[in-house]
C-alpha cells in the first residue's frame, strides 16, 4: 500500500488487515468466482490502495481523467489480482486533487458495477470532506469487500541509591503509567462498545416485537435506557401524570377540556414541585437500600402524550421544562400539539401523540413509534459519539421510516468498523505484512471515480 502521508500508520494497518481478510475470504467476505483456480490460502478477491498528496497532470487531461489513467497504470504495474482470474481491484485517492478512482479487473466487474462503485464513493465523501481519510479509506475497502461478497451494503523502585536510580525509576514509572493508561482506555472503549451493542440489540428486539404485535412495548426508559421495574402496558399506564377521563368521555372522544386541562396542570405541578426540590417523586423515607433506590429509579410514568419515562429522568427534566422530552407535547398548557421540527419524517407531525384518556394508543402507531426511536438513537449518540455517529443514525432512521423495518447494527459497516476489537484485529493483521498479488491487470475491466 502506498501511503504518501495521507493515512496514519495505525489507519493504514487497519486497511491492510481488511485487504488481507478479503484476500483470504474471511467472514464476512467471500471467495472469488474463480476460486477453484486459486491456491487454497488465497481464494478471495485482491484489493490494493494507493493514496497520494497530488498528481502531476498530463497535457490535455483534467484531474478526473488523470486519476483514471494513473489508477489503471498502477493496477497493471502492481499486478493487482490473479492472472488466471483477473480479480483485482485498485482504489486510488489523490488528496490535493480531491479525486478518487476505482480500477476493477475483468473478473470482478460483474459485481463491482459502475453504479455500485458510485455508491461506495458517495458513501465515503462525508469522511473525505471532513479530512477523515483513515475512516474514508477503511469504509471504502470494507464496502468493496462486501459488494464482492454479494452483500449490499471499534514497577517498584527504591533502596538506598535513590539518587542513582531516580531517573531510571521516573522513566519506567512514566512508561508504566502511559502503558496502563492506554491499556485502561482500550479496555474502557471495548466495554463501552459492548454496552452500546447490548442497548442496540435490545432496541432491535423491541422494534421486532412492536412490528409483530402492532403494539409498542414500553420496557425501558428512552432517556437513560434502564429497564422498568414494572411494565407500562397498553391501556394500563403506571402512575399516570394526569387522571383518565370518565368512561363515557373516553368512548365519545370528548369531555370537559377545562377540567381535563386543570387535572393535567395539577399533576404537572406536583411533578414540577418534586423536581424543583431535587427530590424523587416517591418519599425518601422509603429508601432502605441502594437496590431499592435503583428499583424506584426505573419506575415508569406515563405522560399525557403517552410516552413513558422513568421517574428519575422525568423529575430531572421537569426542573427546567414542562413538556415531553421526546415529542415536546406540553403538559401544562392548553396547546397539546407536539413540536416535531426536530424529527425529519414529514408524516410525524400529527396530533395522535396526545390522547385525552392518557393511555397508550391501543393500536401500533408508526409515527408515535418512530419519534421515540429517533429520540433513543439521539441519546445513544450522546452517550457513545465515537460509535453511533450522525451518519449511522441517518442510515438506521431511513431503514425504519422508509423501509418499514428494524435497525441493523450488525450489518452496518460503519458501526462494525467502529468496534475497537475489530479495529485491533485488522490492525494486528495488517501490521504483519501485506497481501501479495499474482499478475492481474486492468485489461478488459472497468471502473469508476468521482470527486468530493
User: According to the model, what pLDDT value does residue 184 have?
Assistant: 60
Judged on CB neighbours under 10 Å (0-12, 13-18, 19+), 249 is middle
Mean pLDDT of 59-86: 91
Q: What is the pLDDT of residue 40?
A: 55
- The per-residue DSSP string of 382-443 comes to HH-TTTS-HHHHHHHHHHHHTT-S---GGG-HHHHHT-HHHHHHHHHHHHT-PPP-BB---T
Mean pLDDT value of segment 288-315: 70
pLDDT, residue 326, reads 87
pLDDT in tens, 338-374: 443 333 333 333 333 333 334 444 456 777 777 888 8
Which residues make beta-bridge pairs with 449?
Answer: 101
**First-to-last C-alpha distance (Å) of the chain:** 22
Q: How many beta carbons lie within 10 A of that of residue 221, not counting itself?
A: 24
Contact 271, 314 (CB under 8 A): yes
Q: What are the sequence ranges of the domains in the chain?
A: 9-153+431-451, 228-334
Question: Which one is predicted more confidently, 245 or 434?
Answer: 434
- The mean pLDDT value for 386-409 works out to 80
d(CA 225, CA 204): 13
Please give the Cα distance from 83 to 32 (Å, whole number): 13
Q: At what angle do helices 133-148 and 9-23 cross, to 10 degrees?
A: 0
What digits encode the pLDDT tens for the residues 97-138?
999 999 999 999 999 999 999 999 998 999 999 999 998 998
pTM greater than the 0.85 cutoff: no
CA-to-CA separations, 294 to 280, 299, 324, 370, 378, in angstroms, rounded? 12, 9, 23, 29, 24
Which one is predicted more confidently, 213 or 7? Answer: 7
For 70-74, which contacts have Cβ atoms below 8 Å and span 24 or more sequence positions?
70/94, 70/101, 71/101, 71/102, 71/103, 71/442, 71/447, 71/449, 72/103, 72/442, 72/447, 74/48, 74/50, 74/103
Q: Domain 9-153+431-451 is of which CATH architecture?
A: Roll (3.10)
Q: With contact defined as beta carbons under 8 Å apart, do 271 and 241 qualify?
A: yes
Beta carbons of 85 and 450 less than 8 angstroms apart:
no
Amino acid at each position: 500500500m502506498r501511503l504518501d502521508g495521507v493515512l496514519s500508520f495505525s489507519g493504514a494497518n487497519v486497511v491492510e488487515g481488511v485487504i488481507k481478510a478479503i484476500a483470504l475470504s474471511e467472514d464476512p467476505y467471500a471467495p472469488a468466482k474463480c476460486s477453484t483456480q486459486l491456491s487454497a490460502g488465497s481464494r478471495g478477491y485482491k484489493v490494493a490502495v494507493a493514496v497520494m498528496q497530488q498528481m502531476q497532470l498530463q497535457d490535455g487531461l483534467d484531474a478526473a481523467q488523470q486519476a483514471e489513467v494513473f489508477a489503471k497504470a498502477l493496477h497493471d504495474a502492481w499486478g493487482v489480482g490473479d492472472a488466471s482470474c483477473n480479480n483485482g481491484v485498485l482504489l486510488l485517492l489523490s488528496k490535493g486533487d480531491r479525486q478518487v478512482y476505482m480500477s476493477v479487473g475483468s473478473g470482478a466487474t460483474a459485481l463491482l458495477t459502475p453504479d455500485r462503485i458510485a455508491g461506495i464513493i458517495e458513501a465515503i465523501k462525508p469522511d473525505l470532506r471532513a479530512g477523515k481519510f483513515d475512516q474514508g479509506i477503511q469504509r471504502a475497502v470494507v464496502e468493496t469487500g462486501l459488494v464482492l461478497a454479494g452483500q449490499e451494503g471499534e514497577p517498584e523502585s527504591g533502596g538506598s541509591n535513590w539518587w542513582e536510580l531516580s531517573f531510571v525509576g521516573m522513566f519506567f514509572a512514566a512508561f508504566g503509567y502511559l502503558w496502563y493508561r492506554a491499556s485502561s482506555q482500550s479496555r474502557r472503549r471495548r466495554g463501552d462498545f459492548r454496552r452500546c451493542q447490548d442497548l442496540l440489540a435490545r432496541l432491535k428486539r423491541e422494534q421486532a416485537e412492536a412490528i409483530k404485535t402492532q403494539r409498542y412495548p414500553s420496557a425501558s426508559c428512552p432517556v437513560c435506557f434502564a429497564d422498568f421495574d414494572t411494565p407500562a402496558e397498553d391501556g394500563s399506564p403506571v402512575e399516570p401524570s394526569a387522571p383518565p377521563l370518565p368512561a363515557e368521555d373516553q368512548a365519545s372522544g370528548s369531555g370537559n377540556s377545562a377540567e381535563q386541562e386543570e387535572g393535567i396542570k395539577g399533576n404537572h405541578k406536583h411533578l414540577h414541585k418534586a423536581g424543583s426540590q431535587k427530590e424523587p417523586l416517591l418519599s425518601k423515607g422509603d429508601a432502605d437500600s441502594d437496590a431499592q433506590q435503583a428499583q424506584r429509579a426505573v419506575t415508569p410514568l406515563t405522560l399525557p402524550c403517552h410516552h413513558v419515562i422513568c421517574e428519575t429522568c422525568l423529575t430531572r427534566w421537569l426542573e427546567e421544562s414542562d413538556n415531553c422530552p421526546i415529542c415536546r407535547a406540553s403538559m401544562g398548557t392548553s396547546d397539546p400539539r407536539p413540536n416535531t421540527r426536530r424529527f425529519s419524517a414529514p408524516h410525524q407531525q400529527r396530533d395522535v401523540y396526545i390522547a385525552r384518556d392518557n393511555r397508550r394508543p391501543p393500536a401500533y402507531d408508526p409515527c408515535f413509534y418512530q419519534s421515540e426511536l429517533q429520540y433513543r438513537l439521539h441519546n445513544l449518540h450522546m452517550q457513545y459519539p465515537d460509535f453511533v455517529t450522525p451518519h449511522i443514525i441517518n442510515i438506521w432512521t431511513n431503514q425504519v421510516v422508509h423501509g418499514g423495518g428494524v435497525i441493523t447494527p450488525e450489518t452496518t459497516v460503519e458501526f462494525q468498523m467502529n468496534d475497537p476489537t475489530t479495529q485491533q484485529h485488522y490492525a494486528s493483521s495488517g501490521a504483519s505484512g501485506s497481501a501479495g498479488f499474482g499478475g492481474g491487470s486492468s485489461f478488459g475491466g472497468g471502473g469508476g471515480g468521482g470527486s468530493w
